[in-house]
Structure 1
Amino acid sequence: MQLTYPMAPSHGVHTLRPALQAALQTKGFGINSQFAKATASNVSLSRPYRGYSLSLEDLTQGKGLNHAALGNWHYLVVSNGKTIADAELAEVPGNVEFSALNHGVMAAATASALKLAENAASLKGKTYELRVLFVSALHFVGIWLHAVDAADEDVIIPIEPTPKSLASTQLYSAAKIFALLTPAAQQAKALFDADTRGLSGN
């Protein structure tokens, strides 16, 4: 399997470095142990890839991956061969700016999902663009391997913090992942709509 990446802003890393260096110096609450041990001299960044999102409305209306909204740029932060954080840049008119530095489970889970994909016999010889898909209302996060060749199918690998009751960390076709996400979205939206009606007094 080969990964490709979208054309990233040329000054993205330059924009991200000061925030990353400040975080390495602070080592504050919520930072994982690997990040706390890291120093600027042994930290590197992956090539950037894009985040995409789908809402409950999208899923209940039957919209697929082609309707996913474009989101932030993501960079994996690596130290001594371990993926220790996920850094985000947001696009603003004519520029990018630092958005977030996530020290939770998502970064390491991303690395594990990519290793799973690299070892998958079904993906050998195929080329994919690396993306990450969010359905925030369902706490779903998935590594999205977008097929470059139209003859190949896109692949989604759910990662933490996705609830295990929703999907496990394995390779899913788009059809199979939507067979899980759509009913969950319909149920969540029904509960939300019922709560909304109750709050409004109708």
Structure 2
Amino acid sequence: MTSGTSVSRRTLGAVQLGIAALLLAQPLALRSVTAGAAIPTLEEPASLIGLAPPALVAAGAVTLLSGIAAVRGRTLSARASLASPLVCVAVGVALGVDVGPEAVSVPTLRVSGVTPFVVAGAVIGGSLAPVVLGATREDTVALLAGAALLLVALALAPAPALALVAGLLGGGVAIGLLWTLDAESWRP
């Protein structure tokens, strides 16, 4: 027989999965607004809307992994959280692929110009999960791997400072909220 705590934990996981689905779908909804936008710059305040997709993807990836762990009745391990940057890359690239009006074929697919920024910002935010969990659970491998992914994404970002801001907003806020709402997975 399952305890009340595990049922509650699984319910919390289902809610987290729903929130993750919404977070990961929002950049798709924002494509019409951000379609003509270039990489965000401080000189053009209207382009700062471009910070939303990487932040939402990072928050969605972190929440997705935490929700999967909670639905399974387990805590999110530091090493399992290393999948968060991979989810960010997959979703970021998928959001950047444009499909022409014809049938899907290789010539009709192209990657939009802001995709590297979205992927880099999302990976920065997604890499915060293994860094935080590696530090709190004393898992040096996850901590170092997460830090290395964060630094590589920062180095490859087209606008490193703004990608860092977007990643910290998405991943940092998601981890902060999950730290409060799902303390069993996130607190030491």
TM-score range, shorter chain: under 0.3
Q: TM-score, normalised by structure 2?
A: 0.24
Higher relative contact order (CA 8 A, sep 6+): 2
Higher strand content, 1 or 2:
1
Q: TM-score, normalised by structure 1?
A: 0.23
Higher helix content, 1 or 2:
2
